[in-house]
Amino acid sequence: MRSQPSQFSPLSSRALEQLAELDRNNRSAGADLRMEAYRIVKDQPDLRRWLEESDRLAQELRGSRRLRRRRRLGILRWTEGPLRGLPYFEPLVYPTSFGPEYRVKPLMDELEYIIIPGRIEDGRWRPAKDELIFDEARAIAMMKAGTLYRLTCREGAVPGCIRRRLDNDKRSHTTELRFDTVEFMGWAVVFRANFKKK
């Protein structure tokens, strides 16, 4: 069901507004909003079916087992098309002087959105920071976590990879994985373009 709010009755539209508010006010990982959400749609069979299908997708769609635990329940999701499984309502965002041109990008394992502050430079959008964390990088590349991680294991496969040791113990293998924004953005744009052609 991909119906727009304007196609619902006034009563359903009010329920949709309440579901949007519930969603946007409860964005913590793994939140279970089912009790409140199903109370909102109790007299709306179409919305209840949509909510049930959304929860089924959240529980069944593939993804990293560790990250799937971060999926929220009790929110409306796209049930078909390229956004299948992602939340129907995008998070509210507000431009700042640091990142006046934000982007809302999908995290495919969590079936969630991440907000990336950015700006326009030389006619192209780029994140506002000089280094991207792993979640931001995989959202920009529209990859699942395992796919990007496997690529970073091959030397030079992902430009801009930065590995930093998290402690001073030379025997430790604990490192932080980040990406140089400029180098990674160039690669991600080319990667996505080639992926779409296949």
Q: Give the pLDDT confidence of 108-139 residue by residue, as tens digits.
A: 999 999 999 999 988 889 999 999 999 999 99
CB 15 within 8 A of CB 44: yes
d(CA 120, CA 70): 31
In the predicted structure, residue 50 carries a pLDDT above the cut 90: yes
Two tokens, residue 105: 């990008």
Residue 174 is given by DSSP the state: -
d(CA 41, CA 69): 25
d(CA 160, CA 121): 19
Q: What is the mean pLDDT of residues 12-32?
A: 95
d(CA 70, CA 73): 10
Global pTM value? 0.82
Two tokens, residue 171: 């025997």
